[in-house]
Amino acid sequence: CVICMQKPKEASIIHGKTGHQICCYVCAKRLRRRGKPCPVCRRPIQKVIKNFI
């Protein structure tokens, strides 16, 4: 995770038809809850999805 540097990148931050997989689920949910934009492209976060690989 690029935010906490502890957990694996397991979440997708969705905005429109695109998204970025750069952080863990906990940090991604925290960003969305606080109204922060995507750390990569600064677009508003519409949804956070947990990825299972």
- Which residues 6+ apart lie within 8 Å of 20 measured at CB? 12, 13, 38, 39, 40, 41
- Give pTM, 2 decimals: 0.89
User: Do 30 and 50 touch, CB atoms closer than 8 A?
Assistant: no
If one compares 53 and 6, the residue with the highest pLDDT of the two is 6
pLDDT at 53 over 90: no
Reported as a single tens digit per residue, the pLDDT across 15-49 is: 999 999 999 999 999 999 999 999 999 999 999 99
Tokens of 32: 């969305």
Going from N- to C-terminal start, the domains of the chain cover 11-50
Q: Which CATH code is given to the segment(s) 11-50?
A: 3.30.40.10
Across the range 2-24, mean pLDDT stands at: 96
| Consecutive H or E run containing 12 | strand 11-15
Per-residue pLDDT at 44: 97
pLDDT at 3 over 90: yes
